[in-house]
Structure 1
């Protein structure tokens, strides 16, 4: 899914009318990010779909790339709602540094919004990491703050296009919490939640309700934090020449 805005950007350098590309995984994230000066891609938490969307996307039509959304916490000190601005993104043996200028501007904007921001690495994965052991293993291997399924793909796209890249991710499920499997399999192709699948899962295993409630509470807290970030961190960002 791609949401576009054809107007002159109000988010940043008005001498360049091209929008910023915002890469998200969920429709809720895409709705928060959408606005003047933004072109939003929603992958529906499907890396294959995201790569397909970006393969057909003309990088000459944008002036920068920001990965924006929720993430799984890897740093045990980060609670749900914590804001992470990436210093780098790693995936396997690949590594992409975030634009220092763009990242600094994101953090400066966060101060306006009274958001406490953590700087750290992100790990990109192809499947949701649900268990505490899996998160701990990624933390041990990469020393990263959080994990998501879009940032590594967005970073690679930006690097190939010579565009500045940054990532702003809010922790949803902290390192200490395991996600119930149903929470990761009930996502429709458009990014919406398949409530029928959720209800069927609850009917099969009523004990999952407590875990779902905790997951939902964390997710809603992360979305609130993401909304706060949207008005300040994205709305006050001035994208400059790529320094990737």
Structure 2
């Protein structure tokens, strides 16, 4: 990665877990099949896990079995505070999950912060369910900066297995964004629309179309940040599936 190639970040063989196909594509990682361990240059590994803590933990176990020496949770997150915008990068100090707090590995964090000193470093909350509106998000604003569904389970697994862990999360939905029902109920495990269900939800709630378009724009901004990470990774020879 730039002046600090990803060939040996903190001397570790990385195992990357990415939940969504759109995130994987932006990062230059294989967007299918779900659950398969892909080999990358530099000896690193990656898995498209699908959404949720159980899927993330399963992917983490597969990566460790394949030889990963550190786990990275990479993808998007929802803002819990109003000073975060789509595209902002978060490298949290701690992951809050099921009444516990898991510290990020500072050697790994320092490696990425050298290239992204503007990244936010406050805590990340991990939940098993999606927060879909401002009311549900602001209820957690005193606890953490942002929220996702995968990092907590991975952080817990990493601690149990005695390996370093880090989350790299890019904000997608701002605190006032409402997640439309078409996204909540009309996509598959990796976030790809299931067209009959997706269209049915839009027909049922046509008032959600502006929200869907706004969320799409926010995802484009988040993907741009992920593509920036990709360009840095590829300059440090982290490529998967090529």
Does the residue aligned with 1:219 lie in a helix, a strand or coil?
helix
Does the residue aligned with 2:112 lie in a helix, a strand or coil?
helix
Q: Would the aligned equivalents of 1:128 and 1:149 in 2 still touch at CA under 8 Å?
A: yes
1:109 to 105, 115, 121: 115
CA distance 1:151–1:234, change in 2 (3 Å):
farther
Deviation, structure 1 residue 57: 4.7
Does the residue aligned with 2:217 lie in a helix, a strand or coil?
helix
Using the alignment, how far apart are the partners of 2:23 and 2:129 within structure 1? Answer: 18
> What is the TM-score when the length of structure 1 is the normalising length?
0.81
- Provide runs of 4+ in structure 1 moved above 6 Å: none
Q: Give the structure 2 partner of residue 226 of structure 1.
A: 226
Deviation, structure 1 residue 170: 0.5
Q: Give the structure 1 partner of residue 56 of structure 2.
A: 50
Deviation, structure 1 residue 78: 0.5
Q: Give the structure 2 partner of residue 5 of structure 1.
A: none
Q: Would the aligned equivalents of 1:130 and 1:181 in 2 still touch at CA under 8 Å?
A: no
Residue 36 (str. 1) matches residue 26 (str. 2): no
Deviation, structure 1 residue 181: 2.4
Q: Would you say how many aligned residue pairs link Structure 1 and Structure 2? A: 222
For structure 1, which runs of at least 5 residues remain unmatched after alignment? 1-9, 238-244
Q: Give the structure 1 partner of residue 8 of structure 2.
A: 13
Q: Give the structure 1 partner of residue 203 of structure 2.
A: 203
Deviation, structure 1 residue 190: 4.5
Deviation, structure 1 residue 199: 1.4
CA distance 1:105–1:54, change in 2 (3 Å):
closer
Q: Cα deviations across residues 53-110 of structure 1 (Å, max 9, x unaligned)?
A: 4445535701211110000001210011111111110013111000111111111122
> What is the TM-score when the length of structure 2 is the normalising length?
0.82
Using the alignment, how far apart are the partners of 2:9 and 2:97 within structure 1? Answer: 34
Q: Give the structure 2 partner of residue 61 of structure 1.
A: 67
Deviation, structure 1 residue 191: 4.2
Residue 135 (str. 1) matches residue 137 (str. 2): yes
User: Map of 1:136-175 to 2, 5 A cutoff?
Assistant: 136-140=138-142, 142=143, 144-175=144-175
CA distance 1:227–1:26, change in 2 (3 Å):
same
Q: Give the structure 1 partner of residue 126 of structure 2.
A: 124
1:96 to 98, 102, 106: 102
- Provide the aligned C-alpha RMSD in A: 2.6
Q: Cα deviations across residues 19-55 of structure 1 (Å, max 9, x unaligned)?
A: 4111121012223153424322223213223333444
